[in-house]
């Protein structure tokens, strides 16, 4: 295979790690009799989707209609759009629902009235529950059971609408400190969902990477929808959800300037490549950690462990300023690559996905945003 020289910030995946991450979650779900409907917003790649399929996955989650269309074109036939129904995309949703089993999220009488008026294709309805995270969904407490019953009544005899279950995303789990608290939030969320459902014949769908990775018992739910675990990232590392050697995505960034007196280098890798999402490392908000890795692909070995003390401290549009203490800064040259493990891998993929994703053995995997 021809050597690939990396010229600009480039997404690199370690396929072996990705396949191990997928196998872990698929096996865990299978053992506990829970459907794994992974969230594909993290990788947005049909090729990586195939690796899930090879692990037995048949149903997926996406976060936009466009992403649902893309994965439908690549053979996926059971897709949930885990985002509140956007009435302005009714035509596209109707068209797509004629090709695949499509699930959408509804949470209010107003949204359901729009669904009844605009959507005529067969659709699974998931009623979104807010488990206390404060983003979207019916509040799990108090009135929620009555609210769900009212929504079910409002669906009424609509022949194309099929109420399927209650769905939540426990975003609040990212405020947990440590594994024990993550397990507790996960369990609490499952209990809150059961309470919201009481007496109703509906499925339960939960799922986030911290809870699904760490919970020993996934609980009495029908499906889980984690996404980030396919790559993990520094946020998951700092939460104690993964080890560094499970992080399967890095952004290879050329070094363009060195400042030994500041113990900093400037990399080609800025806000438009890494996103401006941060994670606290040793009390400081950083955009990622950095490791050494191959200067060109294909390569047998991937990147190493994060270099101690090396982190992306500041970002502007195209520049990254990376703290790089001695002895690392003394060993690096202008033109070398550093492998940045991003704070948040989902957003790095969104930022850079138009260029595809390179595997260590030099295959370019297309994504939703790369030219076909």
Residue 52 and residue 148: Cα distance in Å, rounded? 33
Q: 125 CB contacts (<8 Å, ≥6 apart)?
A: 103, 104, 106, 115, 155, 161, 162, 163, 164
The yes or no reply on residue 37 touching its own copies (CB under 8 A) is: no
Binding mask 263-302 for its own copies (x = CB under 8 A): ---x-x--xx--xxx-------------------------
Q: Is the Cβ of residue 34 or residue 161 nearer to its own copies in the bound state?
A: 161
Shortest distance (Å) from residue 275 CB to its own copies: 6
Nearer to its own copies, 278 or 363 (CB): 278
Could you tell me which of 46, 50, 37 has the C-alpha nearest to residue 78? Answer: 37
Q: Is 259 helix (H, G, I), strand (E, B) or coil?
A: strand
Q: Rule CB under 8 A: is residue 14 a binding residue for its own copies?
A: no
Query: Of the two residues 53 and 319, which places its CB atom closer to its own copies in the complex?
Result: 319
**Least distance in angstroms from the C-beta of 223 to its own copies:** 20
Q: Is 2 in the site for its own copies (CB under 8 A)?
A: no
Q: For residues 91 and 220, which CB has a smaller minimum distance to its own copies in the complex?
A: 91
Q: Using CB under 8 A as the criterion, what x/- string covers residues 231-260 for binding its own copies?
A: -----------------------x-xxx--
Tokens in use for 47?
Answer: 């090729």
Do 112 and 106 meet the contact criterion of CB atoms below 8 Å apart? Answer: yes
Q: Of 47 and 321, which CB lies nearer to its own copies in the complex structure?
A: 321
| Binding of residue 134 to its own copies (CB under 8 A) | yes
74 binding its own copies? (CB under 8 A) = no
Least Å from the CB of residue 136 to its own copies: 5
Q: Which two tokens stand for residue 366?
A: 């297309």
Q: Which of 316, 326, 330, 331 binds its own copies (CB under 8 A)?
A: 316
Query: What is the Cα–Cα distance from 339 to 170, expressed in whole angstroms?
Result: 31
Asked whether position 73 contacts its own copies by CB under 8 A, the answer is no
Ordered alpha helix ranges (H), the chain: 15-31, 46-54, 65-73, 90-97, 109-118, 144-155, 179-197, 209-214, 234-239, 271-274, 328-331, 345-352
- Measured CA to CA, the distance from residue 44 to residue 52 in angstroms comes to 12
Q: Which of 45, 63, 189, 213 binds its own copies (CB under 8 A)?
A: 63
With H, G, I as helix, E, B as strand and everything else as coil, classify residue 355. Answer: helix
Contact flag: residue 350 with its own copies (CB under 8 A): yes
Give the Å distances, CA to CA, from 269 to 315, 353, 364: 8, 14, 20
Separation CA 59–CA 80 (nearest Å): 8
What distance in Å separates the CA atoms of residue 115 and residue 367, rounded to the nearest whole number? Answer: 30
Contact residue for its own copies among 43, 192, 225, 369 (CB under 8 A): 369
Minimum CB distance to its own copies, residue 234 (Å): 15
Residues 176-235 that bind its own copies (CB under 8 A): none
Quick count: other Cβ atoms within 10 Å of Cβ 143?
11
- Whether the Cβ atoms of residue 321 and residue 30 lie closer than 8 Å to each other: no
Whose Cβ is closer to its own copies: residue 271's or residue 299's? 271
Write out the residues near its own copies by the rule CB under 8 A: 5-8, 41, 63-66, 83-89, 92, 107-108, 110-111, 114, 134-136, 171, 254, 256-258, 262, 266, 268, 271-272, 275-277, 314, 316-319, 321, 333-335, 346-347, 350-351, 354, 369
């Amino acid at each position: 295979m021809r050597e690939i020289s990396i010229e600009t910030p480039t997404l690199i995946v370690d396929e072996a790690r990705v396949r191990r991450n997928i196998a872990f979650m698929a096996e865990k779900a299978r053992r506990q009799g829970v459907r794994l409907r992974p969230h594909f917003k993290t990788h947005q790649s049909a090729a990586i989707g195939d690796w899930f399929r090879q692990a037995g996955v048949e149903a997926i989650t996406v976060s936009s209609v466009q992403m649902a269309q893309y994965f439908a074109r690549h053979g996926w036939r059971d897709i949930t759009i885990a985002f509140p129904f956007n009435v302005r995309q009714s035509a596209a949703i109707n068209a797509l629902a004629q090709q695949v089993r499509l699930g959408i999220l509804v949470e209010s009488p107003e949204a359901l009235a729009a669904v009844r008026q605009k959507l005529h294709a067969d659709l699974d309805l998931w009623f979104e529950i807010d488990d206390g995270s404060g983003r979207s969904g019916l509040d799990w407490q108090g009135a929620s059971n009555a609210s769900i019953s009212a929504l079910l009544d409002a669906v009424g005899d609509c022949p194309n609408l099929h109420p399927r279950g209650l769905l939540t995303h426990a975003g609040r789990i990212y405020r947990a400190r440590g594994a024990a608290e993550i397990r507790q939030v996960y369990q609490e969320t499952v209990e809150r969902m059961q309470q919201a459902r009481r007496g109703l014949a509906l499925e339960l769908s939960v799922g986030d990477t911290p809870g699904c990775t760490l919970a020993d018992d996934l609980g009495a739910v029908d499906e889980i929808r984690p996404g980030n675990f396919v790559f993990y990232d520094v946020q998951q590392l700092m939460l104690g959800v993964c080890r560094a050697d499970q992080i399967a995505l890095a952004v290879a960034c050329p070094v363009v300037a060195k400042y030994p007196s500041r113990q900093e280098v400037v990399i080609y890798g800025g806000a438009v490549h890494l996103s401006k999402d941060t994670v606290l490392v040793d009390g400081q908000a950083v955009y990622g950690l950095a490791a050494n890795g191959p200067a060109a692909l294909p390569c047998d070995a991937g990147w190493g462990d994060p270099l101690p003390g090396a982190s992306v401290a500041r970002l502007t549009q195209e520049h990254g300023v990376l703290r790089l203490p001695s002895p690392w800064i003394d060993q690096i040259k202008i033109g070398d690559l550093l492998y940045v493990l991003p704070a948040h891998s989902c957003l790095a993929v969104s930022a850079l996905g138009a260029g595809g994703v390179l595997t260590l053995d030099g295959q370019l995997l297309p994504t939703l945003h790369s030219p076909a």
